[in-house]
Chain A
Amino acid sequence: MAENGRLVALDPTSGPLERRDDRTFRSHPASLDGQVIALVANGLGQGEPFLAALYQELEGQVELAGAVRVLKTSVSVPPEPADWARITSEASVAITGFGG
């Protein structure tokens, strides 16, 4: 299609690769004492035992109140709704991994 003699063509993408989001994050706590940590493992390699070992290390350094352990059903999908509900209702902070 020519507009004013020029070739006009369409952008094939779904938009810019970067955007800004107005949602704010909650402030991180001053300390992990008394916190319940969600350990969200994606199932890649030894990621789940690694998160378990990480929790033990953290337990040795702060007074944690417990863990919510989640192993996703596949490496690159979100947690199942039931696991998501467990995390958001029982945990106060979270660690996700392992991104490889």
Chain B
Amino acid sequence: MRDAIELEWAGIPSVAIIHTAVEGSARAMAKLSGVPDYDFILVDYPYIPTAIWSEAEIRDLAKEVAPRVLRALTA
């Protein structure tokens, strides 16, 4: 999360992909960084938070997230 914010400060439009299980700490990091409204992409179950996923899960999640990344990275 902090990486995405620091990249934004460096002039690189960014988006962070975060699991819902740690949404609270992502929002906390945004608050501490002075950008409490900074948005990020949330991934929910059944994908598990520690990203120990099968190849099929990786493919399915990439398909699911791609349009959201496109929207987040463009104006």
B70 partner, pick from A17, A32, A87, beta carbons under 8 A: A32
B62 partner, pick from A20, A29, A57, beta carbons under 8 A: A57
What string of 1s and 0s marks CB contacts (under 8 Å) between B1-12 and chain A?
A: 111101111111
What string of 1s and 0s marks CB contacts (under 8 Å) between A85-100 and chain B?
A: 0011001111111111
Number of A-B contacts (CB under 8 A): 146
Residues of B within 8 A of A57 (CB): 62-63, 65-66
What's the interface size class on B, roughly? Answer: 35 or more
Residues of B within 8 A of A94 (CB): 4, 7, 12-15
Residue of A nearest to B38 (CB): A25
In the bound complex, CA of A58 to CA of B68 (Å): 10
Show the binding face of B for A, using Cβ within 8 Å: 1-4, 6-19, 21-22, 26, 28, 31-36, 40, 43, 48-53, 55, 58-59, 61-63, 65-67, 69-70, 72-75
